[in-house]
Amino acid sequence: MTAANMGPAIILVEPQMGENIGAAARAMLNFGLTDLRLVAPRDGWPNERAVAMAASADSVIENTRVFSTTQEAIADLQHVYAATARPRDMIKHVATPKGAATELRSFFTANEECGILFGKESSGLSSDDVTLADTIITVPLNPDFTSINLAQAVLIVGYEWFLSADTTPEVVLRNEERPATKEELGHLFARIERELDATGYFENMMPRKPVILKNMRNMFQRFGLMESDIRAFQGIIKGISMKKRDRSNNTD
């Protein structure tokens, strides 16, 4: 794996439309893939339509290499995958994009050259091309509609490749607001208890008061409240506990 190519080579075999090549290049760069190889593109290379569709993925388009045959395109690779439906006439390892990404990542770590074959839009990879691969990548899809275009296939595989090393939290806060402190939560609990006492809430259940308060505290702890949540609850409690005449004065 060279320093410039930070992932497996993407090899488009006999692509038919420049737009699809450009869209594939764009998808590649989204996920840090830069080694694009074309095998006998129908409309030749370079292709203006591919450049336009690539949406500034210049580092991929400008370094695209063209080969006459699939064998030439994969000659320097040690591990080759074929993105295709599972063929029934040959025995091959079959992986999902996620499973393939995990394997590819281990090869990448060991500095072993890898590539993924994608077939032309009209008919996919030929059986001869699939024979050249070690493993087949099959995308799990709705069995009633399994049609995806070339760029979509590249995007799915590229996404799983990128995700295999991504450390972005799966769940993040919508903003930079901080979580509430335990002191703020304590003040909220104390105020709720005072207001409940003031309304006589516990008068007929005094033996159960400690259990009720404990359950209340556990409930609020599970909420994962933010600083603004505490302020909101304090405002709600203030509104509920206002005397009727105070509420009437505030609405005048």
Residue range 39-65, pLDDT digits in tens: 999 999 999 999 999 999 999 999 999
Q: Mean pLDDT over residues 166-188, rounded? A: 80
Cis peptide before 46 (omega within 30 of 0): yes
Return the pLDDT at 172: 62
pLDDT confidence of residue 177: 77
Element (H, E) at 74: none
In the predicted model, is pLDDT for residue 234 greater than 80?
Answer: yes
Q: What is the pLDDT of residue 248?
A: 53
Mean pLDDT of 192-198: 88
CA angle 153, 159, 160 (to 5 degrees): 100
What per-residue confidence (pLDDT) applies to 2?
A: 43
Beta carbons within 8 Å of 19's beta carbon, 6+ residues apart:
49, 50, 52, 53
- Residue 250, pLDDT > 80, answer no
Report the pLDDT averaged over residues 117-141.
93
Residue 238 pLDDT class (50, 70, 90 cuts): confident
Q: What mean pLDDT, rounded, does the chain reach?
A: 89
Residue 1 has pLDDT above 90, yes or no: no
Is 0.85 surpassed by the pTM of this model? no
